[in-house]
Amino acid sequence: MTRRHQRLVMVLLMLGCVSLAVGFALRAFNGDLLYYLTPTQLYDGRAPRHGQFRLGGVVEKGSVARMPGSMTVRFTLTDFKHAVPVVYTGILPDLFRVGQGIVVRGRMVSGIFQATQVLAKHGARYMPPGIHRPHPPSGEEKMLALKRDLAEGVRP
């Protein structure tokens, strides 16, 4: 092989590697992209018809209900304009509480968001993108949150 041939082989091999990588990337992008929506966008009908997406919002006060003894919990996520009922089975993150901004992942099944994952961030003042709290939480709200925490037994 002459040097020119060798170079050609090298370039072709490298092109092969790169196109393989791009191919993998494109294939994976089709399956692994997740859209992020707020409850208002969901009500505007922007949710993907099939498959999972992410939903951000604030856990509405008075909405957290647990079937005693089971790991299934229901709550509503709100962006202070619209609210979406969510059902989740599993362990909730430590930062999950009423009034906390969280992001859930899952799909809509007959009007209820079936969550497979609940993400709460470090930092209690976190707000998911696109969610704006209309006013700072009142003393009453804080009391309610505290009482609820106590009732749930999170704070021993």
Partner 1 sequence: MIAEIGLYALILGLLMALAQSFFGLAGPPFRRLRWMAVARPAAFGQLFFMALSYGCLTYLFVISDYSVRYVAKYSNPLMPFFYRIAGVWGAHEGSMMLWLLVLGIWTVLVALFSRKLPVEFSSRVLGVLGVISSGFFLFTLLTSNPFVRLLPPALHGGTLNPILEDPLLVIHPPMLYMGYVGLSVAFAFSVAALISGRMDAAWARWTRPWTLAAWIFLTIGIVLGSFWSYYELGWGGWWFWDPVENASFMPWLVATALIHSLAVSEKRGAFKSWTALLAIAGFSLSLLGTFLVRSGVLISIHAFALDPKRGMFILILLGVMTFLALILYLWRAPLLWNTGGGFHFLSRESFILFNNVLLIAGCGAVFLGTLYPLFIEVLGLGKISVGPPYFDHVFIPIMFPLFALIGIGPNVSWKRGSGSRLWHRIRWSFLVWTLAALALIVLAIRQRWPIETLLGTVFGAWVLASALIEPIHRLILRLRGEPARLTPSVLGMSIAHFGVGVVVLGITVSTTLGIWRDMPLQPGQSYRMAGFVYHFERIKPAQGRNWKGVRATFSIRQGGHAFSVVHPEKRRFFPDGGTTTNAAIVGGVVHDLFVSLGNPLGKGRWSIRFRYEPMVILVWLGGLIMALGGFLALCDRRYRIRFDEPPYLPLGALRPPPETEAEPRS
Residues lying near partner 1 in the complex (CB under 8 A)? 1, 3, 6, 9-10, 13-14, 17-18, 20-21, 24-25, 27-29, 31-37, 46, 54, 66, 68-71, 90-92, 94-95, 103, 119, 121-124, 126, 128-130, 152-156
Task: Report, in Å, the least distance between residue 131 CB and partner 1.
Answer: 12
Q: Which is nearer to partner 1, 99 or 130 (CB)?
A: 130
Give me the least distance between CB of 83 and partner 1, in Å please. 20
> Alpha-carbon distance 99 to 117, whole Å?
18
Angle at 109 between CA 105 and CA 111, to 5 degrees: 100
Task: Count the residues in the chain.
Answer: 156
In the bound state with partner 1, the residue whose beta carbon lies nearer, of 112 and 127, is 127
Q: How far is the CB of 103 from partner 1 (least distance, A)?
A: 7
Q: 25 or 109, CB closer to partner 1?
A: 25
Q: Which residues contact 100 (CB under 8 A, 6 or more apart)?
A: 58, 59, 120, 124, 126
Amino acid identity for residue 45 in this structure: G
SS3 119: strand
